[in-house]
């Protein structure tokens, strides 16, 4: 059976979401996955969207489901996400899949956090006995990633906007993940020489001449002089997250065919 990814988008979603959904379709087709985009009319409410998710849960042809954000005003994103069957939740947004990280059970992991982990693993570092610092403690990346790093038996330090003496902590990091959403927050003097740096930030900034560009949470030019390994922005975690989503879709397809999930 060919893995099939079903994406739900609501008519009122912004253009960025729509572009993302279209790119997703192209990438699925390039990999030989089926892709079905469900467009729900603008003005749809909770019942319309929830009903569609339940229908896709029931459909045995569907391996993976993702719901594009933003949802219309007044629709609670969490209530929709928790309806996605954990076996088909390729974005890893259902609380059961987040909890499974703690248990270390094979399951679908939140895909941005998974992308960051895959990048760290690609360096062949053994996380045991290493210090991993996560700057930013958001629900989508910071918290799940901290737990994934605990699972890998790293010593994990989670920082947030209230952290006192953050540079004193980030300089301890053998692995430093920036997921704060603050342009170029991490400077060279906050980094231990040779550290692995993963930049999850995607920030649009405007230069003095009025032009806009995309930068990460890491001051790439100066930090790349100090780091042992560094992911760029744009590029880096962004495309890797798309790959993690598709990898989850294939996993889900394989697993939905086995009884023991």
Q: Nearest to residue 145, comparing CAs of 105, 181, 115?
A: 115
Question: Which CB, 100 or 224, lies closer to a second copy?
Answer: 100
- In the complex, minimum distance from the CB of residue 149 to a second copy, in angstroms, rounded to a whole number: 8
Residue range at the interface with a second copy (CB under 8 A); choices 37-45, 51-59, 146-154, 224-232: 146-154
Residue 259 interacts with a second copy (CB under 8 A): yes or no: no
Question: Which CB, 34 or 89, lies closer to a second copy?
Answer: 89
Give me 27's structure tokens: 């990438």
d(CA 31, CA 19): 19
Residue 69 interacts with a second copy (CB under 8 A): yes or no: no
Residue 32 interacts with a second copy (CB under 8 A): yes or no: no
Q: Could you tell me if 94 and 82 are in contact, meaning their C-beta atoms sit under 8 angstroms apart?
A: yes
- Residue 186: phi, psi to the nearest 5? -90, 115
Q: Nearest to residue 114, comparing CAs of 140, 95, 75, 96?
A: 140
H-helix segments, the chain: 15-31, 46-58, 77-81, 95-103, 111-121, 142-151, 166-170, 220-223, 237-256
Residue 117 interacts with a second copy (CB under 8 A): yes or no: no
Residue 169 interacts with a second copy (CB under 8 A): yes or no: yes
Please give the distance of CA 154 from its chain centroid, rounded to a whole number.
Answer: 20
Residue range at the interface with a second copy (CB under 8 A); choices 5-13, 63-71, 157-165, 221-229: 157-165
Residue range at the interface with a second copy (CB under 8 A); choices 23-31, 45-53, 150-158, 213-221: 150-158
Residue 103 interacts with a second copy (CB under 8 A): yes or no: yes
Q: Nearest to residue 5, comparing CAs of 259, 229, 254, 253?
A: 253
- In the complex, minimum distance from the CB of residue 45 to a second copy, in angstroms, rounded to a whole number: 16
Residue 97 interacts with a second copy (CB under 8 A): yes or no: yes
């Amino acid at each position: 059976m060919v893995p099939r990814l079903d994406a739900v988008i609501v008519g009122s979603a912004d253009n960025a979401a729509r572009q993302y959904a279209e790119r997703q379709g192209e990438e699925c087709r390039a990999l030989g996955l089926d892709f079905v985009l469900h467009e729900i009319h603008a003005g749809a409410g909770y019942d319309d969207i929830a009903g569609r998710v339940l229908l896709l849960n029931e459909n045995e042809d569907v391996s993976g489901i993702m719901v594009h954000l933003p949802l219309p005003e007044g629709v609670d994103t969490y209530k929709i996400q928790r309806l996605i069957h954990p076996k088909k939740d390729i974005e890893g947004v259902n609380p059961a899949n987040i909890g499974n990280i703690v248990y270390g059970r094979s399951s679908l992991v939140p895909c941005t956090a998974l992308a960051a982990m895959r990048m760290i693993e690609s360096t062949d570092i053994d996380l045991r006995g290493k210090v991993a610092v996560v700057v930013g403690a958001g629900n989508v990346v910071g918290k799940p990633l901290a737990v994934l790093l605990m699972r890998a038996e790293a010593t994990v330090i989670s920082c947030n906007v209230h952290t006192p003496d953050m540079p004193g902590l980030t300089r301890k990091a053998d692995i430093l993940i920036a997921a704060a959403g603050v342009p170029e927050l991490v400077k060279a003097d906050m980094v231990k020489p040779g550290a692995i740096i993963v930049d999850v930030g995607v920030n649009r900034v405007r230069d003095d001449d009025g032009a806009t560009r995309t930068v990460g949470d890491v001051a790439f030019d100066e930090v790349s002089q100090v780091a042992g390994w560094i992911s760029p922005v744009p590029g880096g975690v962004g495309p890797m997250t798309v790959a993690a989503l598709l990898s989850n879709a294939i996993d889900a397809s394989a697993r939905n065919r086995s009884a023991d999930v």
